[in-house]
Amino acid sequence: MNKLNVALIFGGKSGEHEVSLASSASIYTHIDKSKYNIFTIGITKDGRWMYYEGNEENIRNGEWVNLANKNVEINLVPVGNKEVGIVFEDGRLEKIDVLFPVLHGPYGEDGTIQGLFEISQIPYVGCGVLSSSVGMDKLICKKVFTQIGLPQVDYTDTHKSVFNKYTQEELNKIEEKLNYPIFVKPANLGSSVGISKANNREELLSGINEALKFDARIVLEQGIDAREIEVAVLGNNEVKASIAGEIKPAKDFYDYEDKYINGSSTYDIPANINEIDMENIRKMAIEAFKSIDGKGLSRVDFFIDKNSGEIFINEINTLPGFTNISMYPKMWEATGLSYSSLIDSLIQLALDTKK
């Protein structure tokens, strides 16, 4: 059987560049190399595309930039008589069967690069242009979830242009809508980058100013005393949900540092919840995924109020982390799907979208 040519694309211009490197290195380790020829393409922080051929440790530590072969041409756009693929120094063209983007954050999971992939006409892993852009935008996504009746905590929003001009009025508006604690989030960013928890007006102002470094639109959410539950979904038209897991943050909430650097939070897979809640969460995860026309994969995050037991959907992540401590592959492993088999499934789902 001929091997498929898979292009693993990592790095990117977003604040989650290092997360992407860790995820890609992990996928490179676990992908079945007896089935796939792996072509590794890195995108630098300033947006340059470079071909790298070497081990995954140099992807993880960022050294790939210095080891990249600058004489290899990466052509994903059908221009003139050029064929789409990777052109090597000796003129050899390797056509790519599947693109496997592992690009977290803006320019990677927000629909922009998915648009390029559509132009290339090469099947690619993960959600398409619409679902990627909607899933990445916390504010738009909340409106979609409201439309289909999924329960959410109270929220409001502000915009940089308005907030900077009418700071006190906007703070008043937020405090009228929400009680402390309040979570402050950039609308278009993932991996908990730029997120903070405000317990008073001073912290709210500081948190918004920090979030505005990453996005002009800010989402403010009502903080509750909650358990953090996550579930993985997989599929195109027929969608499956894994068993749910529970994050137990080492801090007030599960932040970037804890997710990808120190890993001091713990987790339970499966989550210690009753069967009814488990099935409701899995069902809502699939509904959320389908509501944004999801394809391939997503991780859907929920809250369970510790006092009332109410379940709230938090957000959907259309390109979740794949590091060795990431919940998405771990939840599938606990459900009976190994890391390598999960990669196989994602590649097959990508191919299925082009049939």
- State the amino acid at position 114 in one-letter form: Q
Residue 62 near residue 21 (C-beta atoms within 8 A): yes
Give the residue among 23, 19, 29, 24 at the shortest CA–CA distance from 7: 24
Q: Where does 135-151+225-352 sit in CATH, by number?
A: 3.30.470.20
Question: In the CATH hierarchy, which fold is given to the domain comprising 155-222?
Answer: Dna Ligase; domain 1 (3.30.1490)
Indicate where the chain has its CATH 3.40.50.20 domain(s).
4-124
Q: What is the pLDDT of residue 69?
A: 93
Question: Which residues of the chain register pLDDT less than 50?
Answer: 254, 260
- State the amino acid at position 317 in one-letter form: N
Q: What is the pLDDT of residue 85?
A: 93
Q: What is the pLDDT of residue 264?
A: 67
Per-residue DSSP letters for 240-288? EEPPPEEEE-SSSS--HHHHHTS---EEESS-S--HHHHHHHHHHHHHH
Q: What is the pLDDT of residue 263?
A: 59
Instruction: Give the containing element (helix H, strand E) for 127.
Output: none
Residue 244 near residue 270 (C-beta atoms within 8 A): yes
Q: What is the pLDDT of residue 194?
A: 84
- State the amino acid at position 327 in one-letter form: M
Q: Where does 4-124 sit in CATH, by number?
A: 3.40.50.20
Give the residue among 238, 145, 223 at the shortest CA–CA distance from 184: 223
Cβ within 8 Å of residue 219, ≥6 positions away: 138, 139, 142, 155, 156, 157, 184, 185, 186, 187
Q: What does the alpha-carbon distance between residue 306 and residue 324 come to, in Å, rounded to a whole number?
A: 29
Q: What is the pLDDT of residue 82?
A: 79
Q: What is the pLDDT of residue 258?
A: 55
Indicate where the chain has its CATH 3.30.1490.20 domain(s).
155-222
